Structure formats: C-alpha cells, structure tokens
A and B are shown apart, each in its own frame.
Chain A
Amino acid sequence: MINNAAYWIALAHLPGWRNERINNIILRFHHEQKTGIEDFFQLTEAEWENSYGLNEKEIRDLVNAKSEISNNSFLAESLQNQGYELIPITSPDYSGTLKENLKIKYSPAVLYLKGNRKILYEKSVAIVGSRNASDTSLKFTDNIAKLASKEYKVVVSGFARGVDKQALDSVLKYKGQSIIVLPQGITTFSSGFKTYYRQIVDGDILVLSVFHPKVPWRTDLAMARNSIIYGLANEIYVAESSESGGTWSGVKDGIRKHRIILVRKPEAGEKNANLQLIKLGAIPVDFDGNRIKEVYNTEQHAAKEPGTVEEPEENTIDTIKSILQYKPLTIKEILGKIGSGWTRNSLTNYLKKQDFIEIKKKGNKNLFNLKGTEEKREPTLF
C-alpha cells in the first residue's frame, strides 16, 4: 500500500464531485506544481481558492475530507492487511488503457484491486449485455470469451446476471483470465471472493472497484461501473441490448466517447435493440466477432423485422453532434465512427445542409466542426 493512501481515499471520494474536477486538481499539483497530494492537503483555504480556483462548497468538502485522513489511515491499513491494493492515477501501475479511453474527463482517481494485478496490463476484451439475455446471446458470449482466452486477451465483465456471468464462467472454462469490475466497494464483495477464491489465488481473476471500499451495491454505481468496463477494454462486444437499461445507456455513452463498439448482428425475429445500436454507430459483428463488412442497409433490414423501430432522424443528428463535441473531424473520420448506411458523398452533402455544422480548412483537408466549439487539447499527463 502506498504511504499516502489515506490522502488518496480522501480526494477520490469527495461527495458529488465529477472525476474531471478531481483530475484537474491532481493535474495541477502533480503535473504543474510537481508536488505531492500531502502538500495539496496542507494548503490553506485561501490557497485552495486562489491557486486552484475552488469555490466555497468545494473548500468545505475538502476541509471535511481532510479531517477524515487519520481515519482513512486505519482503513488503508485494514485494506493492506487483507490484500487489497490502492492505485492512484498518478501511479505508473494505473491502467494505461483506462486513462487512454476515459481521459481526464472520466478517469477515476483511484483503483482498488484484489487479485492478480498483472492482468490489468494485458490486451482486453469487454463482453457486455443484458441480464436476461437469450440463449443465442449467451452462446455468442461464450464464443467471444473462448476466442479471447485463446489469444491471451483478458475478458472484462461486470459480475451481473446474464451476459456478465456467462463471460466470466466461459473465461474460467477456457482457462483464460478475467477482470471483474464491481458496482460496489471492494470490501463488500465477500461472497464473490469466496466463490472465486481459487481463481484469485491462482492469478486468473482480478477484482476491481473505483468506489469507496465500504460502499454497498447501488443502482447508480452499477451504471457508473459500466463506463469503467468500457474504459478497461481494448475491444467492446455487445451480446444483447434491450432498449433501455445499463447496456443500452452504456453503449450509447461509449459511442458518444468515440469508442468502437462491436454489436452482435441479430438474427431475423430477435427481440432486442442490437439493430438500433448499430444504427447509432456501433459496428455489427458475426458469431465469431468478425466485422460484417458489406454495406449494411438498415432500412431494408428494418423493413424485414417487424419488432424493430426505424431510427428517427433526430438520433442521427445527436450522434453526429456527440461525435464532434471534442474536436473537428474529416469526413472519413466521421464515417468511421457513424458506421454504415452512408457513403462519403451522401454524408458530406447531408452535413453541409445542417446549420450546426461549420467547415474549417486545415491544409488541404476539410474539417467538420460543431459551431461554437473550440478545439480542446487533452492534457498529456493522461
């Protein structure tokens, strides 16, 4: 356990703070000031206000958090004694994949781990999907887990019923390795640690949580946990999604964050929302996870399937807006993210007609930009 773990626990779980706000503070003291988290907590309230631009509520939160640091030491010791690890975002041991995918905006300030930490640095595949998934989806999950394990890729899953559980069971069946991302504090997972004791001892499972170690399962944590699953994975496979719920919002969130999301192409007659996700920009894949290359005519396909609803144009606009919210892109880049259904020309013509789009010249390239946004630069620390 790192010696300043108590400080990190204080900073990481400030009530109601977004990751980005916390990360900006970390950037400032670690990257710009080149000081430690202990020094940050030693600052006066005036320095917090002036040097870090914190408001009254934020300063109050920090004062409260600071008063808990001694108690956090006892918690940290207890965690250490029981074999839990705490890894702060400034540590070289922090997951590079997670930082790269979630950036400063969404990366959690600390990771709590128990199990084989080396798994965190392997190539990884997330398999997500509904709690009440169909047999076909579970078989797909099993197959993807099998292929991943064969290629020594780690499977990331969320320890829920359905697809998550199948992914984990299959990984263990195929002698692969898995990261379980918890929707709760890591010390509240006793039954799981008991069930997967031997796999943890043998180094095949890593349990990870980003929440306060003692907080029990909550719906909002389950939702927040999804973005960590996506963030930890190099590839994301969706076995099955309904039109609402964790998988649905998780995938949409992933698309908004420009992740490549591979969705199982449904068979005719399947009642799920996989097609809608594909229309939103996810990429269809076959049973073996291979991308389906042919131009995918969503309208034609949808017409054959009475169970699905045609995508309203509003959604396309939302998708384009979300794709462009961070920086301007070329038509080729937009095509890559928005997925099938468009040709280069049809998309260019479509975008030129939209009043929220402006075209910027960069060298000999046309960049499409959302009006009113400036290009932001990501800090290099992350």
Chain B
Amino acid sequence: MVVVDEAHCISVWGHDFRPAFKRIINLVNLLPKGLPVIAVTATATKRVEKDIADQIGGGITVIRGSLMRENFRLYVIKVKSEDEKMIWLGGNIMNLPGSGIIYTGTRVNTEIYSRWFDYLNIKTSSYNAGLDSGSRIEIEKGLIENRWKCVISTNALGMGIDKPDIRFIIHTQIPQSPIHYYQEIGRAGRDGKPAIIILFYNPEDKSLPESFIEGGRPAIKKYEQVIQEIYNEPLGIKDLMRRTNMKQTPVRVIKADLIEQGIIREALYGRNKKLEYIPGAPKLDTAVFEELRMVKTAELNKMGEYIDIQGSRMKFLCDFLGDTYASEYSNCDNTGIKKITITDDPVMNKTLAEFRENYFPELKVESVRSNIVNGVASSYYGVSNVGAAIHRCKYEQGGDFPDFLLIQTLRAFRKRFGNDKFDLLVYVPPTTSGNLVSNLAVRLSSVLKIPVSHKLGKIRLTKEQKIFENASLKHDNVKDAFKYENPGEISGKRVLVFDDVFDSGSTMKEIGNYFTKLGAVLIAPLVIAKTVGGDLDDQ
C-alpha cells in the first residue's frame, strides 16, 4: 500500500502547495494495478478535494470526516499593540496548562518573544526554518519531552510533529487564511483533552499577510531572467541565486511556478539536481498568478471575518473547509466560554519597558571550525531610531556616529561580554563609509580600555554587502578579502571585532575564519545594528 500524508500539498489551491507533491499524482498513475493508495489530510477545502480527485482521474473514493474538535477552547483577544500581547503573555502564560506553541509571524518576533520570556525566567525555545536540521530536530524533541513551557516558532514548525498533549496554541499574528489557521491549531489536544487556542489580533497585523500576498511573487522580469538562464544552461538553485542575485525564497517560488507551468523540470546531473528547460515549453502564464492572488486575498478576508464573527468560531472554520457534519458548537468565546480581555497590568508594563531597554539582538555566527562566538548588536536596523541614525551618517553626510549609538553599543557590549576580557579591538575596514567605524572604534577603545588596532585591511576591493541579495554572493564578495598587517600579533589573543551593520554575517564569519587561522583564541563580534530578514525567510 502507498500512503500519502498531508495530501493537500498536492494542490496549488491548497494553503501549502509543494511542487514535489505533484509528482505523487504521476507516481499513483504509474503504480501497478490493484495496489491500494490512500491519501490523507486534515485540511482540504472542497476546491482542493476536487482538484486532487481531478488530477488522479477515475478510481478515487473521497471520504470526509468531521472536522469538529470539541476539546478546543477558541479565543480571540483584541489588542492595540505588540506590547499588549507581550504583557498578557508575560502575565498569563504560566497559568495555561501544560506546554504549547506560540506562532509569531516573523523570525525576528520568535527571537524577541523568546528573549522576553527569558527575561521573565520562563523556559521557552525558538524555532524557524533558518536553523540547521540538527537544531530543529533537537527543538522538536524538546517540545515532545515538555522541556519548555512553549516553543516560539514561525509557521515552519508543525508538519510531522506528533505530540498528543499540546495544551495550547497561541498566534500573535493573524494567519493567511482559515485553512492555515485550522492546520496550525489542529496540532493541539490530539489526546482529546481540552486545549486552549488563542488568536491575538491588532488591526495593524493584517499588513504582514497582505504583504506576503502582494509581494509573494517576484517580479515577472525575474521570472523571465530565470527562464533565460535555464534555457542556456542547466542550473541548480544556488547557481540561479548567484546568476540572478536573488534570495533563496523568491528563487524557490519561481522554480515552483515554472515547474507547475511545464516550462522547466528538475533532472539529475550525476548527483546534482539541476533545472532544465523543457523543449517546446509554453510561455509564462501570469494570469494564473493574478487568480491565485485574488483567491488568497479572499481567504485572508475570511480570516478577518473570523475575528469579528458573533457565532461559533469552530463552525466558521468547519464551514470554510467544507465540513457538512452537523455538530453542537459550544467551545469558543462566542458560544458560552468567557471572553478574554486585556486589562491594565502596571507591573508587567514596567517590566516590559525594562526588557526593551536591555534587549540586544544576538549575532549567530558560531561554527565548529572557527573560534568566533555569537556576538551582539545594540539594536535592529530599521526597527528603531538606531538604523535611521546610521543611515544618516553613512549616506547623507550626517557626520560622525552620534553619542547615543556609542552608549547603546556599550550597553550591548556590557550585557553580552561584560565579564569577558579582551586583548584587542579590531574594526572591519569600510568599503565606502570613510572613518565612521574607525572613529567609533577608537572611542569604544578608550572607554573599554581595550587597545584598538588599525591593522585589519582588505587585499582586494569588495563591494558593499547590501547590494547582494543572498548569502552565497555575500560570501564570495568577502572570501579571502582580509589581511592583517602584522599577523603574528593575533596569535593567542582574544579579539573584539567591531562593525556598524551586521547583515548575513558573511563578513564577520570570514574575519572569524581568518583570525582563527592566525591563532586567535576568541573572536567576538560587536555591531551597532543587525538587519532584519537575512537570507532565508520563512513563509
């Protein structure tokens, strides 16, 4: 027998279409006669069901079960800010039974929420698609073993998690559609015991899924560029990222769409998968994208309706998914369960303010072969006034970095490396921005009493890292680009490396590798701001 799990991934109309699942249809048609095939999913709308049945052709029997989950307790909590979500969670999460999952919309938020709980001494772990597979498996294992109160995650966590006793699932961010939502909350309470399901909603939150829908597809020009590159030569995903200077996610989106439209296919060249052009392929059909965009917008609006409905929330979700079973619905805050409302919590409010002042983003750069350690940034670039100040100085002749950046950076340093001793402060030689970084390094040096060195230079010209959209190109840009004037000086030293902005980490990692080679025992990165995003986005 062949069993297909998460079968909704077969359909482009499913909320989580995966091109590789399309191959299952072909496989099913090629299997020997009489071999039974069963495909299961908890989340297929009528449209998805029909699409899959049409693709498989005759000989399929559809069986639908009831989607009603009586043990769920569904709540919607309306808030006016991100702070209100954090305050409520800070004050209430320990009162929730057992362990659970908090879904945030972005990676940065998984980090911020996780550090917020750290601050409150609540044990949590954060999870996103950018983690290496070892870490992901470890976190999934920890979740199953109830090692933490909760795991804070993007939507990357979930499929394949088999934990019967997830007692609560909380969304700090509105999902893209009722199907996404049902799929994600469906992981709670599989043991049949009560599970608390909370959705926070701040009207501003809709802009994130809206931007996913609007900007979910790269520009048509990018599609055409990819087609042209593949027409000339068979290419892997990494090759394409280099050729087109695009991040991994948009390249993957384009790949999936072009495979779906029969313009390219993936073939093995030796052991490498490469994309090749299909001779006589049709032209790119952009009308499909528009149709999908409209469907997705309608689905997001449906999710908006879920917030404001007066009737049963469970029934609303079941109806959306095409469930026709008649059930009694009394398991939400519209049908007999007391609503949760935000009340003022002055203590927690003060604690959050303190947290915000002491929160410094971590720079994850550690690796086995390098003596570099994870560093710290004084703030996120683009989230606070720090980014704006840097931009003014770098690109608008705004003069030296202002004092508050120095103070903020010193605070980040003390928070992260306050107990460490350093022998040397080295700064990253600039590409274009003159003496800004070296001047601030000198000032840091005099406050911290760590001697500053001006000896790290570049042996070849590099471009500004920000013009490269992906880590491979950034890595190439700085590879073997640095040279220390007096290499012997680094041996046996503990080195603090300072820069203004940290983006993919390629530069810091390269310097870490170089200094490790020169014999440094510890390399610690310190920057003013860390950009939001990086190379791999969830979504």
Interface residues on A, range: 20 to 34
The docked-state distance in angstroms from the alpha carbon of A197 to that of B267 is: 12
A187 at interface, CB cutoff 8 A: yes
Instruction: Report if A73-B279 is in contact (Cβ < 8 Å); known contacts: A81-B265, A83-B267.
Output: no
11 A–B contacts from the bound complex (CB under 8 Å) = A1-B26, A1-B30, A5-B30, A6-B31, A42-B33, A77-B23, A82-B266, A83-B265, A115-B279, A190-B270, A197-B234
Task: Tell me the nearest residue of chain A to B25, going by C-beta.
Answer: A77
B269–A193 touching, CB < 8 Å: yes
Task: Tell me the nearest residue of chain A to B274, going by C-beta.
Answer: A194
> Which A residues, 237 to 291, have Cβ-Cβ distances below 8 Å to chain B?
none
Contacts of A69 in B (CB 8 A): 32
A80 at interface, CB cutoff 8 A: yes
Task: Tell me the nearest residue of chain B to A198, going by C-beta.
Answer: B232
Instruction: Report if A82-B27 is in contact (Cβ < 8 Å); known contacts: A70-B32, A197-B233, A202-B279.
Output: no
A83–B276 touching, CB < 8 Å: yes
A38–B26 touching, CB < 8 Å: no
A201 at interface, CB cutoff 8 A: yes
The docked-state distance in angstroms from the alpha carbon of A235 to that of B269 is: 34
Contacts of A172 in B (CB 8 A): none
Contacts of A193 in B (CB 8 A): 234, 267, 269
A197–B32 touching, CB < 8 Å: no
- Residues on B close to A: CB < 8 A? 23, 26-27, 29-33, 35, 231-234, 265-270, 276-280
- Residues on A close to B: CB < 8 A? 1, 3, 5-7, 38, 42, 69-70, 73-74, 76-77, 80-83, 115-116, 187, 190-191, 193-194, 197-198, 200-203
The docked-state distance in angstroms from the alpha carbon of A202 to that of B33 is: 37
B234–A194 touching, CB < 8 Å: yes
A73–B27 touching, CB < 8 Å: yes
The docked-state distance in angstroms from the alpha carbon of A116 to that of B279 is: 8
The number of inter-chain residue pairs (CB within 8 angstroms) is: 66
Other A-B contacts than A82-B267, A202-B279, 13 sampled, CB-CB below 8 A, are: A1-B30, A6-B30, A69-B32, A73-B27, A77-B27, A80-B30, A83-B267, A190-B269, A190-B270, A193-B269, A197-B234, A197-B276, A201-B277
Contacts of A82 in B (CB 8 A): 265-268
The docked-state distance in angstroms from the alpha carbon of A178 to that of B290 is: 42
The docked-state distance in angstroms from the alpha carbon of A197 to that of B266 is: 14
The docked-state distance in angstroms from the alpha carbon of A50 to that of B31 is: 28
B27–A38 touching, CB < 8 Å: no
Q: How far is the CB of A64 from chain B (nearest CB, A)?
A: 15
B267–A73 touching, CB < 8 Å: no
Instruction: Report if A190-B32 is in contact (Cβ < 8 Å); known contacts: A1-B26, A203-B279, A203-B280.
Output: no
Task: Tell me the nearest residue of chain A to B270, going by C-beta.
Answer: A190
* Top-6 shortest CB links A-B: A82-B267, A77-B27, A73-B30, A190-B269, A73-B31, A190-B270
Task: Tell me the nearest residue of chain B to A117, going by C-beta.
Answer: B279
Contacts of A42 in B (CB 8 A): 33
The docked-state distance in angstroms from the alpha carbon of A6 to that of B29 is: 10
Pick from A77, A201, A203: contact of B26, CB under 8 Å: A77
A81–B31 touching, CB < 8 Å: no
Contacts of B270 in A (CB 8 A): 190-191
Contacts of B233 in A (CB 8 A): 197-198
Pick from B23, B269, B279: contact of A200, CB under 8 Å: B279
Contacts of B280 in A (CB 8 A): 203
B30–A38 touching, CB < 8 Å: no
Contacts of A5 in B (CB 8 A): 30
Secondary structure class of chain B's binding surface, majority of residues: mixed
Q: How far is the CB of A86 from chain B (nearest CB, A)?
A: 10
A38–B33 touching, CB < 8 Å: yes
A81–B26 touching, CB < 8 Å: yes
A201–B231 touching, CB < 8 Å: yes
Task: Tell me the nearest residue of chain B to A204, going by C-beta.
Answer: B279
The docked-state distance in angstroms from the alpha carbon of A3 to that of B26 is: 9
Task: Tell me the nearest residue of chain B to A41, going by C-beta.
Answer: B32
Q: How far is the CB of B524 from chain A (nearest CB, A)?
A: 45
The docked-state distance in angstroms from the alpha carbon of A80 to that of B361 is: 48
The docked-state distance in angstroms from the alpha carbon of A201 to that of B227 is: 13
A6–B231 touching, CB < 8 Å: no
The docked-state distance in angstroms from the alpha carbon of A364 to that of B233 is: 65
Instruction: Report if A80-B267 is in contact (Cβ < 8 Å); known contacts: A6-B32, A7-B32.
Output: no
The docked-state distance in angstroms from the alpha carbon of A7 to that of B35 is: 14
The docked-state distance in angstroms from the alpha carbon of A214 to that of B347 is: 69
Task: Tell me the nearest residue of chain B to A188, going by C-beta.
Answer: B270
The docked-state distance in angstroms from the alpha carbon of A114 to that of B212 is: 39
Q: How far is the CB of B231 from chain A (nearest CB, A)?
A: 7
Q: How far is the CB of B341 from chain A (nearest CB, A)?
A: 54
Q: How far is the CB of A91 from chain B (nearest CB, A)?
A: 16
A74–B276 touching, CB < 8 Å: no
Q: How far is the CB of B144 from chain A (nearest CB, A)?
A: 31
The docked-state distance in angstroms from the alpha carbon of A74 to that of B30 is: 8
Q: How far is the CB of A88 from chain B (nearest CB, A)?
A: 14
B268–A73 touching, CB < 8 Å: no
Q: How far is the CB of B447 from chain A (nearest CB, A)?
A: 58
Pick from B30, B32, B267, B276: contact of A77, CB under 8 Å: B30
B277–A81 touching, CB < 8 Å: no
Task: Tell me the nearest residue of chain A to B267, going by C-beta.
Answer: A82
B278–A38 touching, CB < 8 Å: no
The docked-state distance in angstroms from the alpha carbon of A5 to that of B29 is: 10
Q: How far is the CB of A12 from chain B (nearest CB, A)?
A: 15
Q: How far is the CB of B340 from chain A (nearest CB, A)?
A: 50
Give the residue among B276, B277, B278, B279 with the most A Cβ atoms within 10 A. B279
The docked-state distance in angstroms from the alpha carbon of A354 to that of B424 is: 104
Contacts of B279 in A (CB 8 A): 115-116, 200-203
Q: How far is the CB of B59 from chain A (nearest CB, A)?
A: 12
The docked-state distance in angstroms from the alpha carbon of A216 to that of B233 is: 24
Pick from A3, A74, A116, A202: contact of B29, CB under 8 Å: A3
Q: How far is the CB of B31 from chain A (nearest CB, A)?
A: 5
The docked-state distance in angstroms from the alpha carbon of A129 to that of B312 is: 81
Q: How far is the CB of A191 from chain B (nearest CB, A)?
A: 8
The docked-state distance in angstroms from the alpha carbon of A7 to that of B34 is: 13
Task: Tell me the nearest residue of chain B to A2, going by C-beta.
Answer: B30
Q: How far is the CB of B2 from chain A (nearest CB, A)?
A: 9
Q: How far is the CB of A182 from chain B (nearest CB, A)?
A: 16
